């Protein structure tokens, strides 16, 4: 588990980080060690710490600060301090996640509004009909994405 945590701590390639976070065996080891805490949220601290710029978070953001604190405690395997900081990190993480999901849904709805103006009311030829079909497909994809975001946003991370 120590090697896994060290890899999470130093990983700077986003795709490689995601692969590490999806390693079921290692995640299970962390879950067993830090029982009673949401392992996915715990491990997300490394993601936020290492890639806060990717998520448009400033290094002075409270979530980023808390992610640095709790990831340090995780690396030290300090159960008591992890437990204390976890409540703070969890609250900050859930609030940020909800804001992020709401922002994505707002952007998608705005894009849908713009797309609706691009529909050809009276298609003249096959190209116009294909254009409208493409807009329709894009709208369905966006609707499905909003539904997926709503589903993920209705509960705390599990």
CA atoms of 64 and 75, how far apart (whole Å)? 16
Residues 93, 112 contacting (CB under 8 angstroms) = no
pLDDT digits (tens, 9 = 90+) for 83-142: 999 999 999 999 999 898 899 999 999 999 999 999 988 888 999 999 999 999 999 999
pLDDT digits (tens, 9 = 90+) for 112-122: 999 999 998 88
pLDDT at 156: 61
* First CA to last CA distance, the chain: 21
* Residues 6+ positions from 49 with CB-CB distance below 8 Å: 9, 64, 67, 68, 71
Mean pLDDT, rounded, of the chain: 92
pLDDT at 51: 96
**Mean pLDDT over residues 72-80, rounded?**
94
CA atoms of 9 and 64, how far apart (whole Å)? 14
Answer whether residue 150 shows pLDDT above 90: no
CA atoms of 99 and 79, how far apart (whole Å)? 29
CA atoms of 13 and 5, how far apart (whole Å)? 15
CA atoms of 142 and 72, how far apart (whole Å)? 39
Residues 45, 67 contacting (CB under 8 angstroms) = yes
pLDDT at 155: 65
pLDDT at 157: 62
* DSSP state string for 67-129: HHHHHHHHHTT-HHHHHHHHHHHHHHHHHHHHHHHHHHHHHHHHHHHHHHTTS-SS--SHHHH
Length of the chain counted residue by residue: 158
pLDDT digits (tens, 9 = 90+) for 15-69: 999 999 999 999 999 999 998 899 999 999 999 999 999 999 999 999 999 999 9
pLDDT band at 158 (very low <50, low <70, confident <90, very high): low
pTM of the model: 0.79
């Amino acid at each position: 588990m120590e090697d896994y945590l060290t890899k999470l701590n130093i990983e700077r390639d986003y795709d490689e980080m995601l692969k590490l976070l999806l390693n079921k065996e290692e995640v299970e080891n962390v879950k067993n060690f830090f029982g009673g805490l949401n392992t996915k949220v715990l491990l997300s601290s490394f993601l936020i710490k290492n890639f806060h710029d990717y998520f448009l978070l400033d290094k002075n953001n409270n979530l980023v600060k808390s992610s640095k604190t709790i990831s340090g405690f995780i690396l030290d395997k300090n159960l008591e301090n992890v437990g204390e900081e976890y409540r703070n990190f969890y609250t900050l993480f859930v609030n940020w996640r909800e804001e992020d999901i709401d922002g994505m849904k707002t952007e998608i709805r705005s894009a849908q509004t713009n797309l609706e103006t691009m529909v050809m009311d009276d298609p003249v030829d096959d190209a116009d009909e294909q254009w409208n079909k493409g807009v329709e497909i894009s709208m369905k994809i966006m609707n499905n994405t909003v539904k997926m975001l709503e589903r993920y946003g209705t509960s705390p991370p599990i």
